[in-house]
């Protein structure tokens, strides 16, 4: 087991409570692993230094016009080229709150993540339309815990 604390970065955007609830669930789950440190940052506030700091990245976005939120895209725009060669295979996960089906928002995030190149650490959580909230919140909590526990047990290389 690693002696360093797991560091999880959640980069998010939200214009309603759905995405925020998912982010809070990821954070709760991550913090179940002792010693974990979580930074939650709006996409416009997250910087390259935050990406370099973390051991795992969670991108949480609403589906806006069939795409990721502009604030998340802004984060990618500002960090993509400066991060080249510095975050290779860092684990990431995606959470999408969708009004439609979330597939294009998810595909856009995953395509950009592939270019860093980040490593997909779990299946995405998609909360679509009027689906019940509780199973999606539970899935996000499990996602957060799985990421932090995997880091703590050395399953992912340290950032």
pLDDT in tens, 97-122: 998 899 999 999 999 999 999 999 99
Question: How much is the pTM?
Answer: 0.95
pLDDT digit string, tens, across residues 1-46: 455 799 999 999 997 778 999 999 999 999 999 999 999 999 999 9
- The β-bridge partners of 134 are none
Confidence of residue 158 (pLDDT cuts 50, 70, 90): low
Say if residue 144's pLDDT is above 80: yes
Q: What's the pLDDT at 1? A: 47
Q: What's the pLDDT at 156? A: 84
Confidence of residue 140 (pLDDT cuts 50, 70, 90): very high
- Cis peptide bond upstream of 49, omega within 30: no
Q: What's the pLDDT at 134? A: 95
What average pLDDT is seen over the chain? Answer: 94
What's the topology of domain 7-152? Rossmann fold (3.40.50)
Q: What's the pLDDT at 4? A: 78
The b/e string for 9-48 (b: 16+ C-beta within 10 A; e otherwise) is bbbbbbeeebbbbbbbbbbebbbebeebebebebbeebeb
Q: What's the pLDDT at 25? A: 98
Which residue reads 């939200």 in tokens?
14
Q: Which of 115, 117, 97 is nearest to 106 (CA)?
A: 97
Higher pLDDT, 16 or 130: 130
């Amino acid at each position: 087991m690693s002696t360093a604390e797991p560091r999880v970065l959640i980069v998010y955007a939200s214009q309603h409570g759905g995405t925020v609830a998912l982010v809070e669930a990821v954070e709760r789950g991550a913090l179940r692993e002792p010693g974990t440190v979580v930074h939650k940052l709006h996409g416009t506030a997250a910087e390259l230094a935050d990406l370099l700091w973390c051991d795992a990245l969670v991108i949480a976005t609403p589906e806006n016009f069939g795409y990721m939120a502009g604030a998340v895209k802004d984060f990618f725009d500002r960090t993509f080229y400066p991060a080249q060669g510095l975050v290779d295979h860092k684990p990431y996960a995606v959470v999408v709150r969708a009004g439609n089906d979330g597939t294009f928002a998810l595909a856009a995030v995953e395509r950009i993540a592939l270019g860093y190149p980040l490593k997909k650490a779990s299946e995405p959580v998609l909360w679509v339309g009027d689906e019940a909230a509780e199973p999606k919140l539970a899935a996000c909590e499990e996602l957060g815990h799985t990421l932090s526990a995997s880091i703590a047990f050395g399953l992912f290389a340290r950032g």
